[in-house]
């Protein structure tokens, strides 16, 4: 339909990178693009840490549950939801900012994600590729200690960036009938739609692995959710000053 | 630098729209672009409701704290964080999905935001404009009742979309020194950086309003945070099955 939409629709996670670094002028454009995203009431409640130092990336790879591509990516961006800039602004106007409640947490998390997605799109438009690393939440305290992230900020996720050294296929998404509804959240036969999708995903894996894997999506979900994920997050967020009272 | 980056960097919120509707093939491309965004472990935990029905948009405008452009936009997309598709997938595999805890909430909110930002970028690439409406969280129970949004889903925010009938300037963002750090979250003189930014924002308003307004950013933040925002969100999310225990 146009170049930008083709770019968006061709997104795949990239986990293998060439050795060449991300050029400073490209990094600059990526950060400017991130900042250009919308922000609730113009709060801009985030800080991005660009990690290039190899020993830090090694440690972050370990803290993320041993994801070696975190260390191998030339650039690792840590996206922190962060209320400190706003806190400073409030103090400059003699206001004590209430920080520790659910809505501030939602605003900060959403705005950080909007900025990150712009960064990803900008990077891809420049020939780079990357992958989101939610694994930073495996050990968020360790990440805070390592990168000196203060209270009222926390690492929401990271993005590995670099020049792709692989070209995976685009994964098929859930049928649009499940994801998009008109006017009302109408009920639909989700089971039938997911059955059909399971077939599509299974075919995707069969082709991609030359017959070695044939996972169904619903089965992947069931495996993922057979136990509670990252049960430490509630306490970590409280300690970090996002109390969710 | 390239067309996509120019597009990202020229984002402004659009609140005045021409009458013509969003063409079905453009809506289709917008939803496909949203779905192409990354999703943690491929969960795709969201549902998008496209509201076109005028009476529903009127009611949503009211529920969002009287934002008339919600009613006037030809298309209003409601982005729901939604665990129901995954829940269905788990049930198909005889797994009881644990839903009510912080990490599931974070995953759903982040992935919904990534999809939404792709939708916004796709829309803008097609000549449309829009604005995020966090105001859906002013009365999220009312929105759920109106649009029949079930448990384990909730309206995170909306986006108004249509053909722009205004051309506002791009707002200046926080200095990059505040938003971007290398290797560590280094301390910096945030006060001095915000002072400088306050001047920039003040000049922006002076020019834009021909001398009528000269708000400083820090002052806007202090006014916004003089009280707790949307204190009902914690209880609402618990009722909706995102318990954050």
Q: What is the pLDDT of residues A179-191, one digit of tens each?
A: 999 999 988 899 9
Whose tokens are 């920039």? That residue is B200
Probe site for chain B from A185, A215, A220, A243 (most B CB atoms < 10 A) = A185
The predicted pLDDT at position B242 comes to 87
Q: Average pLDDT, stretch A153-178? A: 97
Given a cut of 90, whether residue A6 has pLDDT beyond it is: yes
Output b/e per residue, A153-163; b: 16+ Cβ within 10 A.
bbbbbbbbbbb
Given a cut of 90, whether residue B69 has pLDDT beyond it is: yes
Q: At what angle do helices B54-63 and B140-147 cross, to 10 degrees?
A: 170
Given a cut of 80, whether residue A207 has pLDDT beyond it is: yes
Q: Average pLDDT, stretch B182-198? A: 94
Give the whole-angstrom CA distance, residue B193 versus residue B186: 14
Count of residues in chain A: 245
How does the average pLDDT of chain B come out, rounded? Answer: 96
Task: Answer yes or no: are the C-beta atoms of A241 and A151 closer than 8 Å.
Answer: yes
Q: How far is B207 from chain A (nearest CA, A)?
A: 18
Residues of A in contact with B88 (CB under 8 A): 190-191, 194, 218
Give the whole-angstrom CA distance, residue A215 versus residue A209: 11
Kindly state the tokens that stand for A127. 């020939």
- Closest CB from B8, B50, B178 relative to A180: B50
The predicted pLDDT at position A101 comes to 87
Residues of B in contact with A10 (CB under 8 A): 36
Give the whole-angstrom CA distance, residue B201 versus residue A109: 24
The predicted pLDDT at position A245 comes to 56
Give the whole-angstrom CA distance, residue B107 versus residue B111: 6
φ/ψ (deg, to 5) at B22: -80, 125
DSSP notation for B177-199: HHHEEESS-----HHHHHHHHHH
Reported as a pLDDT band with limits 50, 70 and 90, residue B176 is very high
Residues of A in contact with B4 (CB under 8 A): 3-4, 7, 121-122, 125
Q: What is the pLDDT of residues B14-56, one digit of tens each?
A: 999 999 999 999 999 999 999 999 999 999 999 999 999 999 9
The predicted pLDDT at position B245 comes to 55
pTM of the model: 0.98
Count of CA atoms in the C-beta half-sphere (13 A) of A120: 33
Report the candidate in A197, A182, A6 with the shortest Cα–Cα distance to residue B32.
Answer: A6
Give the whole-angstrom CA distance, residue A2 versus residue A23: 26
Q: Average pLDDT, stretch B170-197? A: 95
Give the whole-angstrom CA distance, residue A115 versus residue A71: 23
């Amino acid at each position: 339909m146009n170049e930008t939409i083709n770019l968006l629709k061709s997104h795949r996670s990239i986990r293998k990178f060439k050795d060449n670094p991300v050029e400073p002028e490209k990094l600059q454009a990526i950060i400017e693009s991130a900042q250009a995203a919308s922000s609730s009431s113009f709060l801009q409640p985030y800080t991005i840490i660009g990690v290039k130092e190899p020993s830090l990336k090694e440690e972050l790879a370990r803290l993320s549950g041993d994801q070696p591509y975190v260390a191998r990516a030339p650039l690792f961006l840590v996206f922190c939801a962060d209320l400190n800039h706003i806190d400073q602004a409030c103090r400059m106007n003699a206001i004590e900012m209430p920080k520790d409640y659910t809505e501030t947490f939602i605003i900060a998390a959403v705005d950080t994600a909007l900025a990150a997605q712009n960064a990803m799109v900008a990077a891809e438009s420049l020939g780079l590729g990357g992958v989101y690393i939610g694994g930073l939440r495996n050990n968020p305290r360790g990440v805070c200690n390592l990168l000196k992230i203060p209270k009222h900020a926390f690492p929401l996720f990271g993005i590995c960036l670099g020049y792709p050294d692989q070209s995976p296929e685009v994964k098929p998404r859930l049928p649009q009938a499940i994801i998009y509804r008109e006017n009302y959240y109408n009920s639909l036969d989700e089971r039938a739609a997911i059955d059909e999708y399971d077939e599509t995903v299974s075919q995707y894996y069969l082709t991609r692995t030359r017959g070695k894997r044939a996972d169904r999506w619903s089965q992947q979900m069931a495996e993922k959710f057979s136990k509670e994920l990252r049960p430490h997050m509630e306490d970590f967020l409280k300690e970090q000053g996002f109390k969710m009272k």
